[in-house]
Structure 1
Amino acid sequence: MNHRAFALALAALASLTLQGAAAQGLRPSGASASGKSGLSAPSSPAARPAATPSITLPAPGADTVPRSADFIVAVVNSEPVTNYEVRSRLVRAEAQLAKQGGAMPPRDVLAREVLERIILEKVQLQQARDTGIKVDDFAVSQAEQGVARQNDMTVDQFYARLARDGMGKERFREELRNQLLQQRLREREVEARVKVSDLDVDQFLREEQKGTDVASMEINLGHVLVLVPENASPVQMAERQARAQRAADRVRAGEDFAAVAREISDAPEGQRAGGLLGLRPADRYPELFVNSTLGLSVGSIVGPVRSPAGFHVLKVVERVTAGMSTTVVQNHARHILLRTGPQLSEAAAAARLADYRRRVLSGTADFAALAREHSQDGSSKEGGDLGWASPGRYVPEFEQALDTLRPGGISEPLVSRFGVHLIQLLERREAKLTPREQREMARSAVREKKLDEAYATWAQELRGRAYVEYRDPPQ
């Protein structure tokens, strides 16, 4: 099978991409355009999880393996790894690979890969504990809610499903906490390693400007999928097509694409990111998507278009040719940040911000006034105003929160490693980027590449310093 796809599948399974509880802040591309916020967070998928909690549900019976014959397969700095741990994770990995439709490697090969992933996780968790990193129960609960939303369930429904498959609530919350610990460790350790110079940006721009064909194009599409079952009857086919057409009509009429995607789309990104597929090279999109949107302006809606999977509605959110964005959708937002620590827990900060939100929505308080009085971010002097921001200025978690809001809307309190935030979307517009803004987006792209490399180096160094003793091979 494709080695890269296999590795990505393992990585996706081995770590919960906890986006709802991840850092909410600005990308560290130097000072922000407005100079109003000093927040920063990693911008690389390898260095930080993406924006919405995402986890593969265990296959039925995956966690009901008898423990009577359990044994130690490895020791990591005196902490054991049991055969049960590897086997439970292995079943989940196999389920994920089967779902993706990829070729299944030999089970012993996959078991070794899973074991190595568990070893790396344990090394990172030990490092996190040794450096004093902690995760508040509130952050775990926020991640828990995000995972449930990603699976289109309430929290109670989600735990009922897990119980049927043999995983208890406490164990699941422990997994969430561990993944948050790893995330915060990576953010602390990796981000400081990455520096982007003007020479780096100049070189990137020279390389990207060599061609302007589809092969050098990057696009960000919004996506609504209405699945069509195999062997669907003509009635089912017509019903699904009509459902997709209604979605297309609603967004063409001006409804928020993210809201329509969350309500209708059967694709994972519908719940995870409001239908956004993310900025990526055109050759990483299905040919149908590229051909359907080629030559259309940002903001254009396409569809429904038919594929073997079902009916698709697409929106051109962003287009980059030769690394240079020209027209993008920008957000104008403001926020209140409360920094947490020994004197203020995440739960207490969230409760305080929830009260601010209630007061603003009821008309008894002004958001800007509260920001000036209480926010602990540099933007407080401006009433929390962050100015206009193009895609890529904020980490995906922050942008996801904005995408779920309509102008005037206020988010629920959001946890990050900086503290807890309350975000309000003020305005949204389509804008042509200035040369300076295009250069900042290029800087973000260079930083993302460097973060990938820095994370790989850091993880290798951390693994190299660990004492690992292999015992009996996993079975």
Structure 2
Amino acid sequence: MTDRRLPLRRTLPVGLAVSLLMAGAGVPVQAQSLKPAAGLQRAAAPAATRTVDYIVALVNSEPVTNFDVRQRLLRLEQQASAQGKALPARDELVKQVLEQLIVERALIQQATEQGIKVDEATVGQAEQNIAAQNQLSVEEFRRRVVSEGLDPNKLRNDLRNQVLLQRLRDREINARVSVSEAEIDAYIRERQNASVGALELNLGHVLIQVPENASADQVRELQAKAEGVAQRLRAGADLAAQAREFSQGAEAAGGGLMGMRPVARLPELFVQATQSLPVGGVAGPVRSAAGFHVLKVVEKQQAPVPELSVTQSRARHILLRPGVRLSQDEAIARLTGYRQQIASGQATFEALAAQFSNDGSARQGGDLGWVSPGQFVPEFEQVMNALRPGEMSQPVVSRFGVHLIRLEERRQAVLSEREQREIARDLVREQKADDAVSAWTDEVRGRAFVEYREAPQP
């Protein structure tokens, strides 16, 4: 059997995005990716867009600069263009990016206060992973980043901050979220007793935020603004246009859509307001601690009770571990050569794995056996899941080294009682973690003293 320490998920992955952290913080999820692959073919930003740097906001006396906003905005626009995604008006996008940076600053300050650190080796590994995913050496990747008008040192610092935020999130949420055996029993019993699937909703969401210590006149003014949005939606106004113009919620950049979700993963306030409405119905404004919410039912369906089976995969891999005698670039080059030998029939995957792989699975020709979803680290599993039976990957960088993967076959497998309970535990924990992350980021943002200076001019 293979050395299961290699691909198994024993720790949470090094985060190259903070979408989970920011989901409850009123900033667009799209604005949080640090992986620049989608924008690597674009040229540098025009010189006319580069302005003199200055402070746009202070977060507990720590500055957020116009340069910070400009760099984040540039990455976001490059990615959106490459992926064919629409963005809100630039003025609104700048506000959302600034709010994102403010929340990140507050979270990073908390991580520093707690003594959480990220060493240079971890940052270097994150940078190598991104470069390898784009089939580039680290030096080629840095040159490409510069050609796009981005600062490689700033990008590296952003990588450090994202790892820091992931570690902070793990510490905070692990302390806040626990799942009891009784909760697992209740979840399984609820699913087994359901004669029909649970309700799922895709809601349109427009949030009009109410500041802390707002005066009565301010509250009335903001409520009237929310009521205007609700009236226009009921009259047939475009949801995306209303969200992009008025919403301060996390979904604004995506046209206000929250996406199809089980009601168990929606705020109870939203469910109570919308579950009896037909598709197209509008609820609100409804008040929460965050402000006034206007909700539109975009889609509504009964989800089927999940089958008690999973899709399992059986794959082989060849692992090369970079070290003193073998750089990561050299490992990638060797595996590329092995791939060509296998594809041309000069060698077999099994023979090369047995001879060269640095994993315990080498004795079985690289065979990893049958595995269920979630058993491998994400950077390995995502590539494996995209393969068809018999297909080989390009070299893949993970925290364990560089892999060449071949998918052998897939099958549907019935889950044992223990496996069912583990899946139930993960689902319950995920539901509770979503709420915990949102509450936590709101707490940190609420405690931060923010002083706005000059408006950004990206």
Query: Given the two structures, how large is their TM-score scaled by the length of structure 1?
Result: 0.50
Q: Alpha-carbon deviation of 1:426?
A: 0.4
* Structure 1 counterpart SS, 2:331: helix
Instruction: Supply the distance in 1 between the matched residues of 2:449 and 2:444 (Cα, whole angstroms).
Output: 12
Instruction: Supply the distance in 1 between the matched residues of 2:346 and 2:61 (Cα, whole angstroms).
Output: 57
- Is the 2:179–2:428 contact (alpha carbons within 8 Å) kept by the matching residues of 1? yes
Structure 1 residue corresponding to 2:124, chosen from 114, 128, 135: 135
Cα distance change, pair 177–107 in 1 and its aligned pair in 2 (3 A):
closer
- Is the 1:409–1:424 contact (alpha carbons within 8 Å) kept by the matching residues of 2? yes
1:119 aligns with 2:89: no
For 1:251-400, list aligned pairs within 5 A.
281=262, 321-322=304-305, 324-340=306-322, 344-372=326-354, 374-377=356-359, 379-394=361-376, 396-400=378-382
Q: Alpha-carbon deviation of 1:367?
A: 3.1
For 1:151-166, list aligned pairs within 5 A.
none
Structure 2 residue corresponding to 1:71, chosen from 31, 50, 54: 54
- Is the 1:184–1:417 contact (alpha carbons within 8 Å) kept by the matching residues of 2? no
- Is the 1:392–1:444 contact (alpha carbons within 8 Å) kept by the matching residues of 2? no
Q: Which is further off, 438-447 or 55-64?
A: 55-64
- Is the 1:204–1:446 contact (alpha carbons within 8 Å) kept by the matching residues of 2? yes
Aligned residues: CA RMSD:
5.6
* Structure 2 counterpart SS, 1:171: coil
Q: Alpha-carbon deviation of 1:129?
A: 4.6
Q: Which residue of 2 aligns with 1:232?
A: none
Q: Which residue of 2 aligns with 1:474?
A: 455
Q: Alpha-carbon deviation of 1:331?
A: 2.0
Q: Which is further off, 96-105 or 403-412?
A: 96-105
Cα distance change, pair 205–104 in 1 and its aligned pair in 2 (3 A):
farther
- Is the radius of gyration larger for structure 1 or structure 2? 2
- Is the 1:201–1:439 contact (alpha carbons within 8 Å) kept by the matching residues of 2? yes
| CA deviation profile, 1:73-132 (whole Å, cap 9, x unmatched) | 356799753223225545877997996577999688536514414525865998665575
| CA deviation profile, 1:362-405 (whole Å, cap 9, x unmatched) | 44444345445554545455443332234444455434312432
* Structure 2 counterpart SS, 1:474: coil
* Structure 1 counterpart SS, 2:123: coil
Instruction: Supply the distance in 1 between the matched residues of 2:193 and 2:422 (Cα, whole angstroms).
Output: 19
Cα distance change, pair 325–345 in 1 and its aligned pair in 2 (3 A):
farther
User: Partner amino acid for 1:474?
Assistant: A
Structure 2 residue corresponding to 1:171, chosen from 150, 153, 160: 150
* Structure 1 counterpart SS, 2:402: strand
Q: Which residue of 2 aligns with 1:213?
A: 196
- Is the 1:121–1:182 contact (alpha carbons within 8 Å) kept by the matching residues of 2? no
Cα distance change, pair 93–189 in 1 and its aligned pair in 2 (3 A):
closer
Instruction: Supply the distance in 2 between the matched residues of 1:433 and 1:205 (Cα, whole angstroms).
Output: 13
Q: Which is further off, 393-402 or 411-420?
A: 393-402
Q: Alpha-carbon deviation of 1:410?
A: 1.6
Cα distance change, pair 401–82 in 1 and its aligned pair in 2 (3 A):
same
Instruction: Supply the distance in 2 between the matched residues of 1:200 and 1:139 (Cα, whole angstroms).
Output: 38
Instruction: Supply the distance in 1 between the matched residues of 2:352 and 2:321 (Cα, whole angstroms).
Output: 15
Cα distance change, pair 367–328 in 1 and its aligned pair in 2 (3 A):
same
User: Partner amino acid for 1:416?
Assistant: S
Instruction: Supply the distance in 1 between the matched residues of 2:262 and 2:442 (Cα, whole angstroms).
Output: 28
Q: Which is further off, 50-59 or 203-212?
A: 50-59
* Structure 1 counterpart SS, 2:307: strand
Q: Alpha-carbon deviation of 1:474?
A: 3.4
- Is the 2:200–2:260 contact (alpha carbons within 8 Å) kept by the matching residues of 1? no
Show structure 1 runs of 5+ residues with no match: 1-31, 147-154, 219-277, 285-290, 292-318
Q: Which residue of 1 aligns with 2:393?
A: 411
User: Partner amino acid for 1:443?
Assistant: R
Cα distance change, pair 370–143 in 1 and its aligned pair in 2 (3 A):
closer
Structure 2 residue corresponding to 1:81, chosen from 64, 74, 86: 64
For 1:426-465, list aligned pairs within 5 A.
426-449=408-431, 452=434
* Structure 2 counterpart SS, 1:73: strand
- Is the 1:140–1:173 contact (alpha carbons within 8 Å) kept by the matching residues of 2? no
Query: Given the two structures, how large is their TM-score scaled by the length of structure 2?
Result: 0.52
User: Partner amino acid for 1:42?
Assistant: L
| CA deviation profile, 1:143-186 (whole Å, cap 9, x unmatched) | 4469xxxxxxxx99xx7xx9xxxx83362755664555455445
Cα distance change, pair 404–91 in 1 and its aligned pair in 2 (3 A):
closer
Show structure 2 runs of 5+ residues with no match: 23-31, 202-258, 266-278, 280-301
Cα distance change, pair 435–206 in 1 and its aligned pair in 2 (3 A):
same
User: Partner amino acid for 1:113?
Assistant: E
User: Partner amino acid for 1:331?
Assistant: S
Cα distance change, pair 440–216 in 1 and its aligned pair in 2 (3 A):
farther
Cα distance change, pair 79–283 in 1 and its aligned pair in 2 (3 A):
closer
Cα distance change, pair 72–93 in 1 and its aligned pair in 2 (3 A):
same
- Is the 1:37–1:377 contact (alpha carbons within 8 Å) kept by the matching residues of 2? no
Q: Alpha-carbon deviation of 1:425?
A: 0.1
Q: Alpha-carbon deviation of 1:415?
A: 1.4
| CA deviation profile, 1:176-214 (whole Å, cap 9, x unmatched) | 645554554456565574876655533432344453534
User: Partner amino acid for 1:171?
Assistant: L
Instruction: Supply the distance in 2 between the matched residues of 1:282 and 1:450 (Cα, whole angstroms).
Output: 13
Cα distance change, pair 114–464 in 1 and its aligned pair in 2 (3 A):
closer
* Structure 2 counterpart SS, 1:135: helix
Cα distance change, pair 428–384 in 1 and its aligned pair in 2 (3 A):
same
* Structure 2 counterpart SS, 1:415: strand
Cα distance change, pair 342–190 in 1 and its aligned pair in 2 (3 A):
farther
Instruction: Supply the distance in 1 between the matched residues of 2:74 and 2:352 (Cα, whole angstroms).
Output: 50
Q: Which residue of 1 aligns with 2:271?
A: none
Structure 2 residue corresponding to 1:42, chosen from 7, 12, 16: 12
* Structure 2 counterpart SS, 1:411: coil
- Is the 1:47–1:452 contact (alpha carbons within 8 Å) kept by the matching residues of 2? no
Q: Alpha-carbon deviation of 1:427?
A: 0.8
